[in-house]
Chain A
Amino acid sequence: MTLNDTAHGDVLVVRVEDSRIDAARAPEFKTAMIERIDRGHVRLVLDLSKVDFVDSSGLGAIVSCLKRIGPRGNLAVAGAKGAVAKLFALTRMDRVFPLHASVDDALKSVAG
């Protein structure tokens, strides 16, 4: 699992470089994200523009991150497309965290 971090002020943009977040990769993804959150990065943009597929484990991992942040900060997801966007729509993730087409849009929402 390769994650690429870019700091924008107090917001950390984490780009997932792998094409899948599935049962095999979800635990590792979750650990890496939790580690960032515990370091104090509570304003996060998760850039999924390179991800083609997320399964139920991956979805669970993303929601776990959100729960970990809790009221201290927030998490936005950017660049979800195709099967990933469909899954988010099916599971109504828009009710859980903001979904944005681009990282820039997401940055605005998180910073605000």
Chain B
Amino acid sequence: MTIRTTLQMLTGVLALALVVAVGGQLLAQANARFEAQRLYAHDSLRGKLLLLGSRLGEERGRAFVILRSAETSEEFVRRLRAARAGVDLTLEATLAEVRRRQDLLSRPEAIRATLAAATDVLNALREDVDKAREAGDEPRSRRLANRWFDTVTDLIASIGSLRLSLLQDAPLQDTALATESRLRRALGLMGEHMGRVRARLAAADGVDSAAESRAFDEVARDLGAATLALELTDERQILGLRPGIADAMNAVRKEFDGVFRPAALNLLSNLRQGTRVPGTGERWFEAATGSIADVDDAQRTLLRSSEGRLRDLEAAGERLMAMWAGLLAAGLLASAGVMLIVRRRVIEPIEELSAAMLRLAENDLDVKLPRPKRRDEIGAMQTAFRTFKANAMQRQRLQRERDALNESLARAYAQLRRDLEAAAAIQEALLPPNGRLGPLRHVGLFRPSSVVAGDSYNVIRRPNGAVAFFQIDVAGHGAPAALVSVASQNALAQAALGRHGDASLAVLAKGINSDWPDELPYFTMVFGEVDPVNGEGRLVQAGHPAPLIVSRDGSRRTVGEGGLPVGMISEADYDEAAFRLEEGERLILYSDGLTEAEDAQGRPFGEQLPALIKRHANADAEQLLEAIDEEVRRWRGSDDLDDDLTVLVIERTTDREVA
């Protein structure tokens, strides 16, 4: 997974978590707000229904009094009309409220149906009341009065039930709201019972004493019920509610206990005793209506308080919703910001660096590296990459230089090698090929330790028939020794050929030695001459191993007493040693490269030499040299030599024929 995917996923998940968490809160707040609106709608409707009940109570009372009385004042009739209008207005307002809030109400249709049915019943009854009054039939009116009273009371009760069911649909959880609701219900009950007392006492006329007595009992019960309802509005419940409510409740209590109840009891007592004062009924009715108005006032105060509380709840819900919505927006904005910053500051630079790094890893040094402008870790990485690239470029340049140097070295070395090989070919060409000079056969072995050698030898027939020979070993080896070797060979060849008659070889050697330039390395040599006819010979040994003379029977002797190397001490003198080479005998000259060739333990080959020569005493000279070559290789354990190795064999054959 790339860093881009990881970071984007993380940011995405965080943003999603934020949306889910805050969205949940937002949804909960929306629900709470809806619930508050629903509570408000139900509560408000219940308030309207309470008012409706109260208005119906007044209409019921006034119509009841008018139906029962033979004579009522014009003012009282006018007030009945006003009460009816009040009921109609309240009904209309209630229906309008149901329409307006029907989306929030649990069952608006049922409420409308109940109200419509109540309206129908009420209108039918009103018609009857009006007809009865026009007819002026007193007994009929009195019968209707009882039916009217009971039916409207039932209507008021059904409106009360409707209120209860509305409360059940939207129960109040808030303590204060529940208390206010309970108080309203108690006040509603109280008002209703007071209304009944008001109507019955106002309508008492003593015409049917038996029925009247039953009505007085009803009045006493209603008065008790109203008292009980008032007691339900206990002062403890009012504690914690708004001060206006306590004032209204106190007014209700004061009015009921101080005015309504004593007046009702007094009136009841007088009526029971048959004391009747004309016009008392209407006065009582208006006074009682005043008391009930106090109850209605308290109701309105409570309703306003409840509405205020519900409005507060709704507003609080809206505030919370706005807060959560703001939080959600801020969170989403922050997420987007984080995503943008992470992308700009982390993902894009890292991707850029990563791409550049991959190209660098593939040795693409043309890659453009981002310029470090930052002081954070990515800036440090960018700086490090630039350093890395600079180092890589420097390494590459150095490598190219090294390669070029190596190539020129290799070329120079190859040239040197070719030159050396050419020099070696020339050097080898200077050596005499194996051959025969009269009865003398000569065979040579020449093995340079490097390409060219400081060793050399030659065999030359002099104009007088004698055979001159020499072997040279220049101190050191390699190219300088080889050059000196060629020079000394030339000097010796000149000396051998240019010598007059039988001039002493020792004098010749002394001459070469004294002429030898100081700057050149010295060399050792054996320089001699042999008469091919009789085998008489002489030689000078100058620091070179003493030559051997080997017979066919394997016996051997050395020639020479040693001598100073040539070119070491310019004043040196040399001795001449005489020898005689019998028929079949071999003169063997060798350089110290043969005797000092060491094996792996550092032992010199020289100790092996006498036995080897003896074993091949009867073999051909070529075979002897081959054997020496092979044995030295075996001794060394390789083809490499530390020093140049040269062997020259001069053999006096038994062949009598002289070339």
Chain A contacts to B: CB under 8 angstroms? 23, 53, 55-57, 59-60, 63, 83, 89-93, 95-96
Residues on A with beta carbons closer than 8 Å to the beta carbon of B475? 56-57, 59-60
25 residue pairs of the A-B complex, CB under 8 angstroms, read A23-B476, A55-B596, A56-B543, A57-B475, A59-B568, A60-B475, A60-B522, A63-B568, A83-B596, A90-B544, A90-B545, A90-B546, A90-B562, A91-B543, A91-B562, A91-B564, A91-B565, A91-B568, A92-B562, A92-B563, A93-B564, A95-B564, A95-B572, A96-B564, A96-B569
Closest to A67 in B: B569
Q: Known contacts A56-B543, A91-B543; can you find 19 more A-B pairs with CB under 8 A? A: A23-B477, A53-B596, A55-B592, A55-B596, A56-B524, A56-B592, A57-B476, A63-B522, A63-B569, A90-B544, A90-B545, A90-B546, A91-B524, A91-B563, A91-B564, A92-B562, A92-B564, A95-B569, A96-B568
0/1 interface trace, chain B 456-494, chain A, CB 8 Å (1 if under): 000000000000000001011100000000000000000
Q: How far is the CA of A60 from the CA of B567 in the complex (A)?
A: 10
A96 to B522, CA, bound (A): 15
| A56 with B565: CB separation less than 8 A | yes
Which residues from chain A contact B596 at a C-beta distance below 8 Å? 53, 55, 83
Q: Is B86 an interface residue (CB 8 A)?
A: no
Q: Which B residues touch A23, using CB under 8 A?
A: 476-477
Per DSSP, chain B at the interface is loop
Contacts of A63 in B (CB 8 A): 522, 568-569
| B543 A90 Cβ-Cβ under 8 A | yes
Is B521 in the interface zone, CB < 8 Å from A?
yes
Q: Which B residues are in CB contact (< 8 Å) with A96?
A: 564, 568-569
Is residue B643 contacting chain A, with contact meaning CB distance below 8 A?
A: yes
Residues on B with beta carbons closer than 8 Å to the beta carbon of A83: 596, 604
Chain B residues within 8 Å of A57, by CB: 475-476
Q: How far is the CB of B214 from chain A (nearest CB, A)?
A: 155
Give the residues in chain A near B572, CB-CB below 8 Å: 95
- Give the number of chain B interface residues (Cβ < 8 Å): 24
A84 to B561, CA, bound (A): 16
Specify the main secondary structure of chain A where it touches its partner: helix
Chain B residues near A55: list those with CB within 8 A: 592, 596, 643
CA distance A60 to B477 in the complex (A): 13
Residues of B within 8 A of A90 (CB): 541, 543-546, 562
The answer for the CA separation of A56 and B644 in the assembled complex, in Å, is 12
Q: Which chain A residue shows the least CB distance to B567? A: A60
In the bound complex, CA of A100 to CA of B477 (Å): 31
Specify the chain A residue showing the minimal Cβ separation from B643: A55
Instruction: Give the distance to chain A from B472, nearest Cβ to Cβ, in Å.
Output: 12
Least distance between A75 CB and chain B CB atoms (Å): 13
Contacts of A89 in B (CB 8 A): 562
- Which residues of chain A come closer than 8 Å to B543, judged between CB atoms? 56, 59, 90-92
Minimum C-beta distance from B96 to chain A (A): 128
When the two chains form their complex, are residues B476 and A56 in contact, meaning their CB atoms are under 8 A apart? yes
Q: What are the interface flags for B365-403 relative to A under an 8 Å C-beta threshold, 1 for contact and 0 otherwise?
A: 000000000000000000000000000000000000000
Q: Using an 8 Å CB-CB cutoff, how does the interface string of B102-131 with A read, 1 for contact, 0 for none?
A: 000000000000000000000000000000
Q: Which residue of chain B is the closest to A56 with respect to CB atoms?
A: B475
Complex Cα distance, B472 from A56, in Å, reads 13
Chain B stretch 574-614: residues in CB contact (< 8 A) with chain A: 592, 596, 604
Q: CA A101 – CA B541 in complex, angstroms?
A: 25
Chain A residues lying within 8 Å of B524, measured Cβ to Cβ, are 56, 91
Q: Which single residue of chain B is at the shortest CB-CB distance from A22? A: B642
> Which residues of A have CB within 8 Å of B541?
90
Q: How far apart sit A64 and B551, CA to CA, in the bound complex (Å)? A: 41
Q: How far is the CB of A81 from chain B (nearest CB, A)?
A: 15
Nearest-Cβ distance from residue A50 to partner chain B, whole angstroms: 15
Whole-angstrom CA separation of A91 from B513 in the bound complex = 14
Which residues of the partner chain B approach A53 to less than 8 Å between Cβ atoms? 596
Q: What is the CB-to-nearest-CB distance from A47 to chain B, in angstroms, rounded to a whole number? A: 22
